[in-house]
Amino acid sequence: MTDDLDGLTRRTFVQGALATGVLSGLLPLTPAYARPLVGPTARVSSGAGSSVKMDLILRPERIEIAGDIGSVMTINGSVPGPLVELYEGHDAVLRVINHLPNDSSIHWHGLLLPFEMDGVPGVTFPGIPPGETFEARFPVVQSGTYWYHSHSGLQEQSGVYGPLVVHPRKPDPFAYDRDYIVMLSDWTFQDPHRVAARLKKRSDYYNYQKRTAIDFLKDVGSEGLSPTLSDRFAWGNMRMDPTDFADVTGIAYSYLMNGLHPEGNWTGLFKPGERIRLRFINGAAMSFFNVRIPDLPMTVVAADGQNIDPVEIDEFQIGVAETYDVIVEPRDRAYTLFAESMDRSGFARGTLAPAEGTQAAVPDLRERPLRTMVDMGMDMEKMDVGVMEMESGKGMSSHGPDGQGTGDHEMGGPEKGPGPIVARHGPDHHGPANTSVATVQRDRLGERGRGLAEVPHRVLVYADLRSPEPREIRPPAREMELHLTGNMERYMWSFDGKKFSEVKGPIEFSYGERLRLTMVNDTMMEHPIHLHGMWMELENGQGDRIPRKHTIAIKPAERVSVLIDADAPGRWAFHCHLLYHMDMGMFRVVRVS
C-alpha cells in the first residue's frame, strides 16, 4: 500500500500549498450550483416550464480535486457535472458529446423514458464512440430529484456523473424558500481498474478497521471469555469479517459534497426564517452515507424523486444511487451537513450558513459498527429470546402511531433483537459465484441501517415511507424470486449464483402484467438494487399508500418484495448499484415484451 500512503502525503502537501497560495491559480472545477459561498446562484432555479436543449461534453482533464491534482473525466469542465433541469410535461433534448478516448454513455437515473434513450451500452444502444454525439430526446413525464451518470466501464468513478432535477407541472405539496443540491460521492486518485484488480485478488484489501487484540481484550472484559471466543470462532469458521462494511474505504477514498472534500467546505447561504429544501443525492460508486445536521431536524418530503408523507427525523442512511429531499428551518447560526461513511472511515461535510465565513463544529467520527450473526442469515432463536414473539408481527416504523419519533429501534439492533423471520431455508444457490445462503430471511424494512441502532435520535427507515395519495393496488398475476449472491474470497457478485456473463438470456416480463418480485440477500453486505425504466413499489406495510422507488438498499439476510407494472416495452438494466459489484457480474437484463 506504499502508493496509497505516498498519495496521502502528497495530498497533505497540496492542501498546504493551496492554503499558502502556492497553487492559488489552480482552482477546483466545480459546477456553478456547487461553488461555495455564492448565495442565490447556488440554488436550483424555479423558472417557468419549457422544453430544454442542453449539451453535455465529456472530456479528460487534470484538475484540482479533493485537495490534490487528479486525472478526471469531466462533464462541461466540472466534477460533478452541471445541474440538468427539466420540466414535467415538456420535452428534453440532451446531447452527449464524447471527447474521451473510449466509448462512453449517460444514463438518466430514475427517469421514465423510451428504452432507446436510457443510455446503457449493449442493452439499449451501442454506446458513444470517441468524437461522436448521442442525442437523447424524450418527453418528461415525472418530477423530482434524480441524477445522471456514465454506464460505461468504471467511468462513473472517474467523474462522469451529475444531478438532475425535474420541476413539477403543479406545485409540490410543501413550501420552501431556497433550494439546494447536496450531491455526495467518493473519489479515488487510484485508477478504478487497479482498484477492481486489487479487490479481485484480495477482497479486504482496503479494510484497515479489522478487529485487533485490543478489541478482543475489551470484549472479554464486557462479554466474558467464553462468549468472546465463541464469537471469534464462529466468524473464523465462516471465513468472514464482522468489520466488512465497505469494499473500498477511506484509505483510498476522499468523500465529496458537491465535488468538494471536507476542507473545501461546500457552503449554502440562507436568510434566517427561510425554509430550505436540500436535495440529497448519493452519486458515490461504492459508499453508503449516514447523514445528519446536528441540532437541526430534517423533514423528509421525497424519496427517489417521489413525494412522500412528511417524516421528521434527525438522521438517515442513504444507499448508493438513492435520493432524499428534506426541508430544514435553520435559525440565525451555521450548521454542519455531515455525511459519515457507513464504515466510519471518513466523511463528507458542508455548511448551511447565514453569512459567508461562518461555520459550525464538525462532529467526530463515531465508532465503527460490526456485523452480527443476523447479517449472516443465522437462526438466532437459540441465542435471542423474543424472536419467536416477533415472528407473527410485521415490523413497526421508528415512529409512533401519532407520527412522532419514538427514538427506539422497533425492529432491529442489539436493543430489540432482529426483525421478524419471514422465511427459512430458501433456494440453494451455492456455487462458484455464491458461498452462502441466508438460512433465515427477515423483514428488515423497519430496521435502522447498521451503526444507527443505538443512536438516541430519530432515524428514517423504509417502513416510514408512505405515498401522499392512495394508489390502485392490483394484485400481481405472477411472482418471481431472485437471490443476491456473492463470493467474497474471489470477489464475484451475481444473481441466483450466476454472473451476468454466465446467464443465457434476459429476465422476461410480459408487457402490461403486474408482478411481485421478491429479492433475498444471501450476502453479508447491503446492495442497492436499481431497476431501469419502471418503478418498484415497495411492500412496506403501507397498504394503498405504497411508496415507489427506483433503487432499494437491501440489508444482509433480508427478504424484500416489490410490485412492478411492466408498462415499459424494451430492454432494461437491472443491477446492484455498487459499481464494482455490477462490474463483477451483479447485473441482469429485463426484457418487457
In three-state form (DSSP H/G/I as H, E/B as E, the rest C), the secondary structure along 329-372 is: CCCCCCEEEEEEECCCCCEEEEEEECCCCCCCCCCCCCCCCCCC
From 236, 185, 175, 176, select the one nearest 211 (Cα to Cα).
Answer: 236
Q: Residue 29: which pLDDT band, with cuts at 50, 70 and 90?
A: low
Q: Give the distance between the most distant pair of CA atoms in the chain.
A: 68
In this predicted model, what pLDDT tens digit does every residue of 376-427 receive, in sequence order? Answer: 666 655 444 333 333 333 333 333 323 333 333 333 333 345 677 776 666 6
Angle between helices 213-223 and 225-238 (to 10 degrees): 130
What local confidence, expressed as pLDDT, does residue 381 receive?
Answer: 57
CB 478 within 8 A of CB 507: no
Helices (runs of H) and strands (runs of E) counted in the chain: 6, 32
Q: Residue 81 — very low, low, confident or very high, per pLDDT cuts 50/70/90?
A: very high
Q: Would you state the pLDDT for residue 42?
A: 41
Do 90 and 100 meet the contact criterion of CB atoms below 8 Å apart? Answer: no
Distance separating alpha carbons of residues 9 and 18, to the nearest angstrom: 14
Q: Quick one: pLDDT band at residue 369, thresholds 50, 70, 90?
A: confident
The mean pLDDT of 90-103, rounded to a whole number, is 98
Q: Could you identify the residue written with the cell 420540466? A: 87
| pLDDT tens by residue, 237-253 | 555 666 668 999 999 99
State the cell numbers at 185: 460521492
Question: Using CA atoms, how far apart are residues 581 and 575, in angstroms rounded to an integer?
Answer: 9
Instruction: For residues 3-32, give the mean pLDDT.
Output: 40
Beta pairing, strands 91-98 & 52-65: parallel
Give CA–CA dist 208/40, Å, rounded: 41
